[in-house]
Amino acid sequence: MERALVLAMGTAVDAGDIDIQSRECNAHPMSFQDWKAKAVYEMEHVFLKEILGKHGLNITRAAQAAQIERRTFFGLLQKHKLTKNSAVDAEALPP
């Protein structure tokens, strides 16, 4: 629930913010490290899209606001396929 609150787009959590997957008892559960990596990746992705949108897609200003070196910030954008040169879908970058 805390994760849903962090990843929620607004001030409240709605059904779309909660990703509950049903698993069979015999299914291979994800390890703690896998869950953590997935949560960090999702948090980074949401954060990058939000801060880029707030700064009009200006990477330099967004990096400064995030208090991250521009080069590191751009590396994160590439990791998440949020650059102009990435093959992104229409929802990848904020409007």
Q: How buried is 14 (Cβ within 10 angstroms: 0-12 exposed, 13-18 middle, 19+ buried)?
A: exposed
Instruction: Point out the residues of the chain with pLDDT beneath 70.
Output: 1-27, 85-95
Can you give the pLDDT at residue 85?
67
Q: How buried is 6 (Cβ within 10 angstroms: 0-12 exposed, 13-18 middle, 19+ buried)?
A: middle
Can you give the pLDDT at residue 70?
96
Helices (H), 21-93: 32-54, 59-66, 70-79
User: Does this model's pTM top 0.75?
Assistant: no
Residue 5, classed as helix, strand or coil, is helix
In the structure encoding, which two tokens stand for residue 19, read together?
């990703």
Beta-carbon count within 10 A of 38 CB:
12
